[in-house]
Chains A and B, each alone.
Chain A
Amino acid sequence: MTPTDISNPDTFHKVVDCQWACPAHTPVPEYIRLIAAGRYSDAYMINWHSNVFPGVLGRTCDRPCEPACRRGRVEEEPVAICRLKRVAADNKEDIAARLPPIPAVRNGKRIACVGAGPASLTVARDLAPLGYEVHVFDGEKKGGGFIRSQIPRFRLPESVIDEEVGYITERGGVTTHFGQRVESLRALLDAGYDAVFVGSGAPRGRELDVPGRKEAAANIHIGIDWLSSVSFGHIESIGKRVIVLGGGNTAMDCCRSARRLGGEQVTVVVRSGFEEMKASPWEKEDAMNEGIPILNYLVPKQVLHEGGRLTGMVFEKVKAERDAKGRRQLVPTGEPDVVIEADDVLVAIGQENAFPWIERDLGLEFDRWGLPVLNEATFQSTVPNVFFGGDAAFGPKNIIWAVAHGHEAAVSIDRFCRGLDVGERPPPHVVMSSQKMGIHEWSYDSGVSLDLRFKVPHAEHEVALRDIRTEVELGYDRELAYKEAQRCLNCDVQTVFTTSLCIECDACVDICPVDCITFTENGEEQELRERLRVPALNLEQGLYVQDGLKTGRVMAKDEDVCLHCGMCAERCPTGAWDMQKFFLETAKPYAGRVAACQAQ
């Protein structure tokens, strides 16, 4: 293998599994250490710069970071990264003064954002500090988009939304046009905006098409519409027996909301298997803990009704089989149909994009799925000054993806407005710093906690189910947060090897608790992986290889399960190993151009 190029930011970024997996590349271990140190405001600001809505995401994020967490590979469960983020938000002090200042003098460029969801608000936040005049349009009375309309209050109190949306819309530079739905892109372009960002989400719930749908329409509700009516207080009750169709997180929000609005017998029904459900495992678990059964392999066949009132639904039992081509298909089992009695049905079987307000003769191309044709890196559409992001870009995803899109689109819009090549992307901001303070003293907590993941305290069921506004999760208190934070392996504190200092004494090999390090003859990667002290079979994780040793061998380190405990560096007599903190922040248009108030 050729020696690993550690000057390439991706090399060490990949080692920080959580940060690499986070669409917004939040420097996770950095903020977790700050939480452990009780520096909640600093931890919050690290988050705020990267993911914009730490308080919201700390309760609702789909957490792609957690399945990636190294802790999950050396022990049973990942660090509760998401819920630690909430700790930073819950315990911070007033951070208003630390937000990037909004200049009184504007730069003369006007940007329109369609929709006030996370993608649009991220664009607004990233551009306002540079003097852009950002106009945000939304049909609702308040900002937040699906954050406000779709996520039930028992998961996310409105005060958190108000606060974090306020950090963007209430500080100047951003003009909100709430209650004003954009009906025409042409009109918007004609209004002379320098750029338009479309962050209008995927606002249409997929329909159920079975006999009886029309007749029982009064008791059949589209999930996302129903959730938003509940959020805005238009709906306050539901029948005692409720069927929720669908296996995504929206279905989980629907069933748990129904449970709080009078639903006593709430049942979730999914077409496919329980394991294949799109909902996050923890959301399924929360629903089941509230006494909501999830029935699988049942395909809706018919809606039963009597005198215009819904009485139940008929489902066909199916099983999963592979056809000749190996594709998974659901085929009827031939068993009798299943009838579930109900008063109301909530349909949460998917969302679709809809752009009825975009004229098709503007030159803005759509693909055959009705999604805009975009450059995947720049989010630029076929109309150069129109950019997309969030669910409006590539279909329904989640908040953290919308934020990530927003950041990239903001970079694009900024470059576009300054007449620069949009395709040329600015590099991330990277700092490497040695953590050595003494022979065996590091400026990070190098000890490895053996604690298992701590559970987040929940409100009692009786209390939680009484009022839809009662937050179920109580969040970690400071003490639990500290303990959970200590489970973090500090994967951003990198093991950096300097060949010229190594005397090949084997001390690092002998001390490494997880047998990461091998000194051996070089070879092709696949073959070398087999020859390591413990074969490196996880191909998603890189090998760190350095050559030029006196014996002609190479140092090969399998990054897979490294605990970042610093033992190799501690036992190294010559300082050939050093523990260096790798801090990476993705490029933000305002970074370096405003006096950003970072914790760094």
Chain B
Amino acid sequence: MSFLPKPKLHHPKLPVNALGFTRRDYEGAISTLCAGCGHDSISAAIIQAVFELEIEPHCVAKLSGIGCSSKTPDYFLGASHGFNSVHGRMPSVLTGANLANRDLIYLGVSGDGDSASIGFGQFAHSIRRGVNMTYIVENNGVYGLTKGQFSATSDKGSKAKKGTVNTDEAIDLIGIALQLGATYVARSFSGDKAQLVPLIKGALRHPGPAFIDCISPCVAFNNHEGSTKSYDFVREHNEAMNFLDVFPGRSAITAEYAPGEVREVEQHDGSVLRLRKLHAEYDPTDRIGAMNHLHERKAAGEIVTGLLYIDPEPQDLHANLGTVETPLNRLEDAALVPGKAALEKLNAALR
């Protein structure tokens, strides 16, 4: 960690977005994580994505649980809403917040311990319910805060820093998310911002449960020979399915591609996700196909990354419940207390 804050001075030619903010304006406090932590790169990617999407900071709520990953919301979007919840309970708090105010953009940040162990059930149900959110797991496959025990996402057969071999089966969060109905599912790597930033942008614009499993090497406890979550291992085994470009609207698209190279998905809000395909046969709108492909490639020892599944017509929790358009926290008494006559009418209907 650093004692001094990051200097406020920035490059005089740093670009400014439509709101008049530089990327630096989306930063938070200086990180207290270990030097070289992948999580810091993910924080930087989130900052870049929100800057590029020109989102006003007060329109974002960032929520987290406990763990190294869950500390990171302090290090980005310093002017956004934040909630650091109990271990593993971020999904529930996020669901509640989303129910109360559907207008905010919800960003849940979690880790492999927070989401695959103590909060596994919470994670599962928030996805199942279709909460409109971006759920990022900063996945380093190790309990860093408690000095390097295997986590539930450590691959079977991988080695701990002192040489212990993991005998337990790993939880594949991508597989679970696909199975439970996440409508935007991606995997990426903290060391590849060119891939990660657009994936976060796409997730933030996605009007349904968007899940990103981001492999994020733990420099202190899981970046050694025998680890399957080290910088070197991930770089060697990374098999990107596609590269994503996110366009706010159709009119902004200019570049031309040969047919077959590109797949465009228009989202509900008019934004366009353009996938530059690296594997021609891979269809990111085919959920079953995606699940099969993931299992196949995993067996072959590859780490599949990219936008793995997208449902262009997702339905979220609010649609499922049929809530009103106005956020619940903004409903006036008149709407919330319909009066005696209405109550009697309701009671009568139930008799």
Residues of A within 8 A of B (CB): 73-75, 439-441, 446-448, 450, 503-507, 509-511, 513-516, 534-535, 537, 550-551, 561, 563, 565, 567, 570-574
Contact = CB atoms under 8 A, between A and B. Distances in A.
B88 to A, nearest CB: 27
A535 B38 CA distance: 25
Given A446-B4, A550-B232, A507 B13 contact: no
Interface stretch (B40-48, B52-60, B334-342): B40-48
Contacts of B190: 506
Contacts of B4: 446-447, 565
Given A510-B40, A511-B6, A504 B191 contact: yes
B35 interface: yes
A11 to B, nearest CB: 22
Closest 3 CB pairs of A and B: A573-B36, A448-B7, A510-B44
A447 B3 CA distance: 10
Contacts of B38: 505
Contacts of B1: 440
Nearest to B41: A506
Chain A, interface SS category: loop
A515 B6 CA distance: 12
Interface in B8-67: 8-15, 24, 30-31, 34-38, 40-41, 43-44
6 contacts: A440-B1, A447-B4, A505-B41, A507-B37, A513-B8, A515-B10
A565 B9 CA distance: 11
B223 A503 contact: yes
A514 B10 contact: yes
B232 A573 contact: no
B9 A514 contact: yes
Contacts, number: 98
B6 to A, nearest CB: 5
A451 to B, nearest CB: 12
B161 interface: no
A573 B34 contact: yes
B9 A506 contact: no
A500 to B, nearest CB: 14
Given A506-B41, A550-B235, A571 B7 contact: no
A561 B34 CA distance: 26
B235 A514 contact: no
A570 B5 CA distance: 12
B193 interface: yes
Contact of A513 (B10, B31, B35, B232): B10
Given A448-B7, A534-B13, A534-B14, A507 B2 contact: no
A506 B216 CA distance: 12
A573 B31 CA distance: 14
B217 interface: yes
Contacts of B150: none
B2 A535 contact: no
Contact of A506 (B10, B191, B235): B191
A439 B8 CA distance: 22
B9 A440 contact: no
B219 interface: yes
B231 interface: yes
A481 B44 CA distance: 37
A572 B41 contact: no
Nearest to A449: B7
Contacts of A75: 9
Contact of B219 (A439, A505, A514, A537): A505
Contacts of A503: 36, 219, 223, 231-232
Contacts of A535: 13
A534 B16 CA distance: 12
Contact of B36 (A74, A561, A571): A571
Contacts of A574: 36
B12 A563 contact: no
A446 to B, nearest CB: 7
Nearest to A569: B35
A568 to B, nearest CB: 10
Given A513-B24, A515-B14, A534-B13, 15 more contacts: A440-B3, A448-B9, A503-B36, A503-B232, A506-B40, A506-B190, A510-B40, A510-B41, A511-B40, A513-B7, A513-B10, A567-B2, A570-B2, A571-B31, A573-B219
A506 B11 contact: no
Contacts of A510: 40-41, 43-44
Nearest to B36: A573
Nearest to A571: B35
A513 B38 CA distance: 18
Nearest to A442: B4
B18 to A, nearest CB: 19
B103 to A, nearest CB: 30
A317 to B, nearest CB: 39
Interface in B187-245: 190-191, 193, 217, 219, 223, 231-232, 235
Given A537-B13, A573-B36, A450 B8 contact: yes
